[in-house]
Amino acid sequence: MVMKKRKNCSFCTRPEIQERIIIKNKFAFAFPTNIPITQGHTLVAPVRCVSSFDDLTRGEVRALFLMRKRIVNALKRSFYAEGFHFAWNEGAVAGQSVPHFHLHIISRKKGDSGITKYEPRKFLYRPGSREPSPEKELQAIAKHVRDSLK
């Protein structure tokens, strides 16, 4: 497999990222982010430069998730992490600022600074009302998506 790199991708071109790699294999690499939410906030990315999860091969997905597990264990030992947030942004409208897929691993423990209470509705979902959607509306949405699977 030819390892595709993009000239406009900081993960592919910035030497300081290459210098802070924690672990690397044939398909994936992990490194601390330069703007961490907590100490040890690590990114896991494929070696091949692709922007979305759906562009990854099965081998890349497997390598990314095996590396995720190794990093989690290392963060438990090195920073006494008690829990984790895992996230990726896909597409500019979803906040992806680097056009190279990457999984955020954010270690959590009591007394952390940064985002201390995870409430996705505060920053991911619709603003305003926190009222549940009517069941009829949810059923219509489920049918609409189900019909799109055909």
pLDDT along the chain (150 residues), means of 10: 65 90 94 86 95 97 96 91 92 89 92 60 50 75 76
| Residues 39, 106 contacting (CB under 8 angstroms) | no
Phi–psi pair at 71, nearest 5 degrees: -65, -40
pLDDT given for residue 135 in this prediction: 81
Rounded Cα distance, 113 and 100, in Å:
28
pLDDT given for residue 124 in this prediction: 47
Rounded Cα distance, 43 and 3, in Å:
19
pLDDT given for residue 2 in this prediction: 44
Active-site residue among 85, 100, 102, 104?
102
Domain 10-115 has CATH 3.30.428.10: yes
Rounded Cα distance, 41 and 108, in Å:
9
DSSP class of residue 8? Answer: T
pLDDT given for residue 118 in this prediction: 52
pLDDT given for residue 75 in this prediction: 92
pLDDT given for residue 117 in this prediction: 54
Q: Is the dihedral of CA 40, 60, 99, 54 positive or negative?
A: negative
Residue 41 appears among annotated catalytic residues: no
Rounded Cα distance, 30 and 23, in Å:
6
User: Residue type for 8, please?
Assistant: N
